[in-house]
Amino acid sequence: MPRRSPVIISAASLALSAALLPAILFPITYLIAAMGGNVAWCIPPLEGCTDITHTALKTPESHVFRVAMPFVCGLFVAVWIIACDWIGTHGGAIGRREIRFRRLGVIAAIGLLVGEMVLQDRSTLWILHSVGATLFFLLTYAAIVMHSRSIVELEKSHPGSLSKVSLASKRWIVRALTLMLVLAIAFRVTDWSEGGRILQWLSTYSILAYIFTFAFDWRGYRVTLLTPAGHDWTTDT
């Protein structure tokens, strides 16, 4: 059986793809839905006329969404695995916290995939969708908080591992997400649906912004997706 060649790609490119693909996808599906009369015209993150779910609920926008989301979720899985490995290769300890945020990030991505793949207009399995979407936001938030603590410790023990802009950006994003979580609970209690939809857009793009910061950290970092043995995943600087 022929030996397979390794595929080496830029980790920063993966992070950029994971952040930008969904950041572009959601406005596209919204515009398709709005032009088809399936959702109202507005600026969703500011006016809350619709949420991300309803921009992909009906055809033809649902076709675009269902094709793209497996790639998006696959990229999310990849960046959380790399985020853990990157800390280890830069002198940080891979302890329980690092393993936990990696697992949480992966589970969150899988939950998102399951939750979004069941969107089928009137045939949507709403309970499964709600569980998957909720798992994505809560587990990703937990993974981000744990990751931010890990990189703060890494920067203290190995100064210069991260740029000041990247570290500061992560801190502000964590604070913003924490505030949004508190507001989401408040909006749920008061049954303010428009506020909840606005928060869904803002929290989603805050998560994407956090992933985007990985690109600054991982410049020059390479990932071997396929070794000659055909099954290992290693990383190299």
Residues 184-210 pLDDT 10s: 999 988 888 888 899 999 999 999 999
Residue 182 has a pLDDT of 95
Reported as a pLDDT band with limits 50, 70 and 90, residue 237 is: low
Q: Is the dihedral of CA 31, 34, 39, 42 positive or negative?
A: positive
- CB-based contact 108:140 (threshold 8 Å): yes
Residue 221 has a pLDDT of 84
* pLDDT of 2 above 60: no
Beta bridge partners of 7: 226
* pLDDT of 231 above 50: no
Residue 136 has a pLDDT of 94
> Comparing C-alpha atoms, which of 162, 177, 164, 165 is closest to residue 221?
162
Q: What is the rounded end-to-end Cα distance, in angstroms, of the chain?
A: 30
For the chain, give every domain's residue range. 12-224
Say what percent of the chain tops pLDDT 70: 92
| Measured distance CA(84)–CA(95) in Å, rounded | 10
Average pLDDT over residues 158-164: 84
> Comparing C-alpha atoms, which of 176, 172, 109 is closest to residue 140?
109
CA 185 remoteness from chain centre: 21
Reported as a pLDDT band with limits 50, 70 and 90, residue 1 is: very low
Looking at residue 42, what DSSP letter applies? S
Reported as a pLDDT band with limits 50, 70 and 90, residue 4 is: low
Higher pLDDT, 51 or 90: 51
N residues, the chain: 237
* pLDDT of 230 above 50: no
* pLDDT of 36 above 70: yes
Q: Quick check: pTM over 0.85?
A: yes
